Amino acid sequence: MANCTHVFQISGIKNHDRKRVLIQGIQQLGGRYIGGSVYHCGCTHLIIPTVLSSEKFLAACAAGKWVVTPDYVLDSMEKGSWLAEEAYEISISTSTTPVFYPVRQWREKVSSGRLSGAFQGWRVLLMVQEPTRWAMFKRLLRAGRAKVYCCPLPPSTTVTHVMAKPVTADSKSHDAPCYPVSYIVQHLFGSNYVDFYDMKDGHQAEMRRAGFVVPDFSELETELRDYAVKQEGRPRLYFLEFLGFHDPNRPQSQAIETDFSNVGSMIECGLFIEALDSIRSAVYPGVLPPAAHLVSLIDYAQQGSATSVFLRIFQQVLNNLLITNPPWRAPCTVKKYLHQVLQCPRCKSGPWSFLKTAISYCLSSGITCHPLPGPALPTLLHFHSDIVAFFLKVFQGELHSMTTGDLVLPEGTGFSQSSSSGFLLYGTFWTVWERSTLLSQAVKQLLQHLLQAAHEDHNGRDKKQQPRLLHTLLELLSVLVEFWCQQHFKLNQSLVEKSLKDLAEHFAVISQGVSAVLLADLVSRIRSTRLKLVMADAIFRNLCSRNGFTVGDGTLSLKKMMVSYLIALGCLAHSPTDAGIRKGHNFQGCTSQGSSCSTESSLEKEAKLEKENIPRGLNRVNAAGETLLHRACKRNHVETVLQILALPGMDVNVKDYAGWTPLHEACNYGSTACVELLLRYRPAPQLNSQVGGVSPLHDALRNQHMDIAKMLLEHAGSVLLELPDGDGRTALDLVSTERQREELLRSARIGDSSLRNDDAKVLNLPLLEAGSSLLTHLIFSYQQEKGLQHCNKPHSLSYRLVRALKEHSLQRVTVEWSDQRALRLVKDLETLLELGRGRYLDQIPRAVKECKGEHTAFLMAAIEELKYQGDVLQANTEIIEKD
């Protein structure tokens, strides 16, 4: 190879046929070809179609090699010998600058012997963190005859340059000038390097990832990151009713010493209403009735003998205590006091056990910390409902105090302003070992109770009680989620995002058997936009999965909603009428230990029933990899195919070891009835699936099954007629008579017409409406949580970002960015601009566009609003630039 005058490498040619021709030509003319993705110092020529950002191009430039276009080899092949290279040397030419030959100056210097390489005499300490990038820069520098060292330097070694990515204080501490790695390109191309990078070439993103950056968008990334952090950390829920709470630090005119000794005597004598009256008249700031008295009164109420007058006064007493002695503005003794009062007077197992019992009694589940009178006595039902509402009010106050910075913790309490351990809410829902996760055992049980309340509300049971309880539980969930997120956001944002996703995914899983309509209604009532966003996303994806359509669980973005979610919504519209509208399970709540739920037993019963209907041999695969469905389709066993397709989660496109699907087998063996069943299944089988170029349609025609072929065409239309087999033959090439061709064409036209009508047909309106409702709430919540403000000022963040996207590609702007929040924001803004130009709108399924349902029409209005926002962003930017 050393004696060969023409040793080639190739870069930037992705077409395999074209590359193969070049390699053959090189070999025919006596040259050598070196493959591989990295630069090889033994090459003499590099072939590239245009100026690239590849390692091979930069290294060949630094080494003074010939860099020529592919025409050099092609023209030499025509002449039968190697031509002169000068006419084929790569160049850059734009409308504003003269022709520039980026490699020529270094090639001439090296060929004349003036230099051995572009980096001759350089002794470089290379400080690049990523190993693969370090190796690439090392090869590049050594191609230009530089000596390259890594940290730590060998003893007595001096360097002339320090090359770093990124440049840090450590890289600047050495006794040599420190440069970013982009200095390599600046040295190679001099004053022309700006023109080099301004070229509209798809490879520029690769070069920028390698570290060569001319436009600097780092400041924009920093601002976007700060904006995202501010958005994520802002409070979501406010409770104006707490703004008027009395300040305990203000001097009071009321007496602060009260004698409660007679209250105990009244309770012992059974004068409960009188005892409550005495407590109600003696509650002042700084004055708390003995906890034992309130515990006795709660015990009395739990026995079911309390009157409505007693319950009304008892509720007033609790509210007065909260107003006069708010635990978030008082010493920690008040928190301990409430912790002692708000627990079951008999079990004394903490606030969550008491709250769970109150919820369970309101739901008539019968699972309480100890047996209570029942079933669901009206007065006792009223009492427990008030207890749940009081818990919520306490928790709202604690969240409000943390949100507004209104928390008062005296010195010596051991709690800081940001401490969470002193909050009653924290102690209720998270044990000491669970505080690093949002999805604690208590939160899981609350989700289960929420589902049961929604189920009973949907079924119309106890209409006077359930709507109030459902609203209270939804508000409770929003409050505890916001509380936990605000507590942990500044410490670990990733933990918050993961925990929110885990909670939503858990809820989606336990609600598998719940009606889609009910779930959509539940999401619409959630007050926290942060919680609504993750819940709507998880439930929508789970709804798609339940109906056989997979939507990836990757990072949520505006583009993902416009592309993947809208297409999935169209699939939901075409689902069978019973899909996704199954009746909810008979929720009975969780046991006191929280280890099992009756929902699980209901699921187990359903699984047993399904197991009884599973045909024998379903999971058995023969030596050819054929499933029972394959074998049944071969033999036209219609009943077996029906039984298999009725099972949930069945893959109708399952392949044997050779790649054949059940539809292939049915078409091959002429099992007409089985083909009809498979075509009616949703999601529909893949009709364009090929094995060795053989599709189901080719299979049917090769075996003279014209009835099946026409059935396939009536189902999928003329697109199947364009599908060639392994020999390049279409379906029309496989029939021998003109009459058969006409029959196939007629069936294809019927299929095309049917598809046009089916696209606009809604087979499952309730499911489509539920999905549309979820997606609408998803869009609105996403904008509130993540979106940028409108562009209305010349120096606003959104204006500068739109301007950057107008002047440069998205890849060029973000190639050096590492913050995922900033990347998501700029991608969302680009999607908004594209919507303003009308993109994505033509991808919306006709069934969604033309549906007259209320929620679907509202979704289309929301998408039009997004398009309008994109128009406004673009228009405002242009107006500002003109001014």
- The order of strands in the sheet holding 45-47 is 32-33, 7-10, 45-47, 66-68
What residues are paired with 161 via a beta bridge?
124
pLDDT at 792: 62
Taking only Cα atoms into account, the Rg of the chain, rounded to an integer number of angstroms, comes to 36
Delimit the domains of the chain by residue range.
7-111, 123-210, 237-248+261-429, 628-760, 765-882
CA distance 522 to 791: 34
- Whether residue 166 is preceded by a cis peptide bond, meaning omega within 30 degrees of 0, is yes
CA distance 168 to 138: 19
pLDDT at 800: 85
Query: What are the tokens at 278?
Result: 């005495």
> Dihedral through CA 750, CA 753, CA 756, CA 758, nearest 10?
-50
pLDDT at 854: 93
pLDDT at 778 exceeding the cut of 90? yes
Least-confidence region, from 323-332, 694-703, 839-848: 323-332
What phi and psi, each to the nearest 5 degrees, are found at residue 597?
A: -130, 150
> Checking DSSP bridges between strand 147-149 and strand 7-10, what pairing results, if any?
unpaired
Interval 310-318 mean pLDDT: 88
* pLDDT mean across residues, the chain: 80
Residues 567 and 845 sit within 8 Å (Cβ to Cβ): yes
pLDDT at 868 exceeding the cut of 50? yes
pLDDT at 252: 43
Please list the alpha-helical segments (H only) found in 405-528.
424-429, 441-459, 466-488, 493-510, 516-524
Least-confidence region, from 478-492, 563-577, 827-841, 856-870: 563-577
Query: What are the tokens at 841?
Result: 């709108």
CA distance 508 to 512: 6
Q: How confident is the model at residue 233 (pLDDT cuts 50, 70, 90)?
A: confident
For residue 347, the Cα-to-chain-centroid distance in whole angstroms is: 43
Q: How confident is the model at residue 421 (pLDDT cuts 50, 70, 90)?
A: low
Interval 207-233 mean pLDDT: 70
Q: How far is CA 867 from CA 359, 493, 776, 833, in A?
A: 45, 31, 14, 8
pLDDT at 215: 55
- At residue 735, the 3 state secondary structure works out as coil
Q: How confident is the model at residue 482 (pLDDT cuts 50, 70, 90)?
A: very high
CA distance 878 to 833: 13
Least-confidence region, from 185-194, 450-459, 482-491, 742-751: 185-194
Query: Which residue, among 21, 57, 22, has the nearest Cα to 37 in the 3D structure?
Result: 57
Least-confidence region, from 217-221, 585-589, 610-614: 585-589
- For 796, residues 6+ apart whose C-beta sits below 8 A from its C-beta are 789
pTM of the complete model = 0.64
pLDDT at 460: 63
pLDDT at 191: 53
CA distance 306 to 287: 26
Q: What is the 3-state secondary structure (H, E, C) of 642-706?
A: HHHHCCCCCCCCCCCCCCCCHHHHHHHHCCHHHHHHHHHCCCCCCCCCCECCECHHHHHHHCCCH
Query: For the chain, how are helix, strand and coil distributed in percent, rounded to 5?
Result: 55, 5, 40
284-288, 304-308, 586-590: range with highest mean pLDDT = 304-308
pLDDT at 303 exceeding the cut of 60? yes
- Exposure string of 529-551, with b = 16+ CB inside 10 Å and e = fewer, is bbbbbbbbbbbbbbbbbbbbbeb
Helix axis angle for 706-716 and 738-760, nearest 10°, is 30
Please list the alpha-helical segments (H only) found in 325-373.
332-341, 351-362
Interval 341-365 mean pLDDT: 86
> Checking DSSP bridges between strand 161-165 and strand 45-47, what pairing results, if any?
unpaired
pLDDT at 864: 93
pLDDT at 604: 45
- Whether residue 845 is preceded by a cis peptide bond, meaning omega within 30 degrees of 0, is no
pLDDT at 595: 37
pLDDT at 410 exceeding the cut of 90? no
535 vs 582, more confident: 535
- At residue 484, the 3 state secondary structure works out as helix
Query: What are the tokens at 509?
Result: 């899983």
Q: What is the DSSP letter of 577?
A: T
pLDDT at 652: 83
Helix axis angle for 332-341 and 291-302, nearest 10°, is 30
CA distance 599 to 448: 9
Q: How many CA atoms lie within 13 A of 707 on its CB side?
A: 9
- Exposure string of 496-507, with b = 16+ CB inside 10 Å and e = fewer, is beebbbebbbbb
pLDDT at 585: 42
pLDDT at 537 exceeding the cut of 90? yes
11 vs 328, more confident: 11
pLDDT at 759 exceeding the cut of 50? yes
553 vs 814, more confident: 814
Give the model confidence (pLDDT) of 107-150 as tens digits.
999 998 888 999 999 999 998 887 888 888 999 999 999 999 98
Task: Indicate the residue type of 846.
Answer: R
Q: How confident is the model at residue 797 (pLDDT cuts 50, 70, 90)?
A: confident
pLDDT at 93: 62
- pLDDT over 70, % of the chain: 82
Q: How confident is the model at residue 33 (pLDDT cuts 50, 70, 90)?
A: very high
pLDDT at 26: 92
Q: How confident is the model at residue 101 (pLDDT cuts 50, 70, 90)?
A: confident
- Exposure string of 61-96, with b = 16+ CB inside 10 Å and e = fewer, is bbbbbbbbbbebbeebbeeeebbebeebbbbbeeee
Interval 356-376 mean pLDDT: 79
Residues 528 and 486 sit within 8 Å (Cβ to Cβ): no
- Fold that domain 7-111 belongs to in CATH: Rossmann fold (3.40.50)
- Whether residue 375 is preceded by a cis peptide bond, meaning omega within 30 degrees of 0, is yes
- Fold that domain 628-760 belongs to in CATH: 1.25.40
Query: Which residue, among 357, 364, 359, 358, has the nearest Cα to 586 in the 3D structure?
Result: 364
pLDDT at 256: 52
Interval 550-571 mean pLDDT: 84
Interval 181-198 mean pLDDT: 65
Q: How confident is the model at residue 677 (pLDDT cuts 50, 70, 90)?
A: confident
- Length of the chain, in residues: 883
pLDDT at 592: 37
What residues are paired with 190 via a beta bridge?
none
CA distance 344 to 351: 8
pLDDT at 250 exceeding the cut of 60? no
752 vs 59, more confident: 59
